[in-house]
A and B are shown apart, each in its own frame.
Chain A
Amino acid sequence: AQSVTQPDIHITVSEGASLELRCNYSYGATPYLFWYVQSPGQGLQLLLKYFSGDTLVQGIKGFEAEFKRSQSSFNLRKPSVHWSDAAEYFCAVVRGSGNTGKLIFGQGTTLQVKP
């Protein structure tokens, strides 16, 4: 069955440093992949998504992610982290297709930003 793994539960980076959050998926065909961000006590905001085409996807807030089929990965990156980026980040894949598709979430990665 389709699944998503985020190997890093907690990451701390200094403000201004680069960031990479890892996401690995398990899926037979070309997956639909997403990255969401959640601030404490809030809902989810979509950062970016990959359906097909260019494997480097640009998102909001300066984030990007690269789909690598050979590594079954969809890692999220940002060149320079801001203090406001501290939040919970979730990678997700759609399981099923069309009207039966469901989002399957990874365990989440908590990002802490040091001043």
Chain B
Amino acid sequence: GAVVSQHPSRVICKSGTSVKIECRSLDFQATTMFWYRQFPKKSLMLMATSNEGSKATYEQGVEKDKFLINHASLTLSTLTVTSAHPEDSSFYICSARSGDRTNEQFFGPGTRLTVL
């Protein structure tokens, strides 16, 4: 149980385009989902927290207009990187948490974004 998927696993796009990454909880309802960014050889940096049906809460320094997060249902959150630039290239990981296990997060496999 507690499986989280991400799609796509890998995406390459041109500079200036937008890219959408999906995060799904497959066998539980995720009241909260988190989006992380990971640079090569680095730790995970929390970008934002999204609760189903409400606006995402962004960490300091993360541009909310650049990284649009939508958590429209209890099993799906999306991260859209708008007007992507090469510096947005990174590994993006989502995690999900259910309402009854608030101290545990379950991680997706990650999405490798490369912006040319």
A residues with CB within 8 A of B: 32, 36, 41-46, 49, 51, 90, 94, 97-99, 101-108, 110
List chain B residues, Cβ under 8 A from A110. Answer: 41
Which of B49, B105, B112 has the most chain A CB within a 10 Å cutoff? B105
Instruction: Flag if B93 contacts A44 (CB, 8 Å).
Output: yes
B87-116: CB near A (< 8 Å → 1, else 0) gives 000010101000100111111111010000
Residue from B44, B51, B99, B103 within 8 A of A32 (CB atoms)? B103
**Cβ distance B59 to chain A, nearest Cβ, rounded Å:** 9
**Cβ distance B7 to chain A, nearest Cβ, rounded Å:** 13
> In this assembly, does B50 line the interface, its C-beta being within 8 Å of a C-beta of chain A?
no
List chain A residues, Cβ under 8 A from B109. Answer: 42-43
Sample (25) of A-B pairs whose CB atoms are under 8 Å apart: A32-B103, A36-B107, A41-B110, A42-B110, A43-B93, A43-B107, A44-B95, A44-B107, A45-B107, A46-B104, A46-B107, A49-B104, A90-B43, A90-B44, A99-B32, A99-B102, A101-B102, A102-B34, A102-B49, A103-B34, A103-B95, A103-B105, A104-B46, A105-B43, A108-B42
Which of A32, A42, A49, A51 has the most chain B CB within a 10 Å cutoff? A42
Residue from A32, A43, A97, A106 within 8 A of B43 (CB atoms)? A106
- In chain B, positions 30-70 with a C-beta closer than 8 Å to chain A are 31-32, 34, 41-44, 46, 49, 51
B residues with CB within 8 A of A: 6, 31-32, 34, 41-44, 46, 49, 51, 91, 93, 95, 99, 102-110, 112
**Cβ distance A93 to chain B, nearest Cβ, rounded Å:** 10
List chain B residues, Cβ under 8 A from A105. Answer: 43-44
Instruction: Flag if A108 contacts B110 (CB, 8 Å).
Output: no
Instruction: Flag if A51 contacts B49 (CB, 8 Å).
Output: no
**Cα-based distance from A99 to B50 in the complex (angstroms):** 11
Identity of the chain A residue whose Cβ is nearest the Cβ of B45 in the assembled complex: A105
List chain A residues, Cβ under 8 A from B93. Answer: 43-44
Instruction: Flag if B103 contacts A51 (CB, 8 Å).
Output: yes
Instruction: Flag if A99 contacts B31 (CB, 8 Å).
Output: yes
List chain B residues, Cβ under 8 A from A102. Answer: 34, 46, 49
